[in-house]
Amino acid sequence: MTPKHYYLLLCALGFLIPYSQFVPWVAEHGLNMRLLLEELAANRISMFFSLDVVVSAITLLGFLRIERKRMELKHWWTVIAATLLVGVSLGLPLLLYLREAPAEPERVA
């Protein structure tokens, strides 16, 4: 398996696994942002994980900013969308996939 394919697999898992929990929650509660925030901050351990994800997302977006300029990444904005709509679990493997794309030689048909 090439790194590019590995990162695509991680993108799929990074979308499917978190949303396997989020979609049923939304089906039960709707987009109740107040309840969502209450449950995210329910106790110290949930705050630990919530803040860990926030710091990771900020780090990822900072890394994207650096890599975007250094590697002239195409479609860099999809990493921002993926991180905001799903999370680091999708944003990070997507960025790694985009970094890998220029390294792959072009095939002539």
Asked if 31 contacts 53 with a C-beta cutoff of 8 angstroms, the reply is no
Residue 70 belongs to some domain of the structure:
yes
Q: What are 14-30's pLDDT values in tens digits?
A: 999 999 999 999 999 99
Q: What is the pLDDT of residues 40-51, one digit of tens each?
A: 999 999 999 999
- Residue 106: inside a domain: no
Q: Which domain holds residue 20?
A: 3-99
Number of domains into which the chain is organized: 1
Return the DSSP state at 30: -
Contact yes or no for 91/57 (Cβ under 8 A): yes
In a domain, 108, yes or no: no
What is the pTM (predicted TM-score) of this model? Answer: 0.87
pLDDT digit string, tens, across residues 63-98: 999 999 898 888 999 999 999 999 999 999 999 999
- Note whether residue 65 is domain-resident: yes
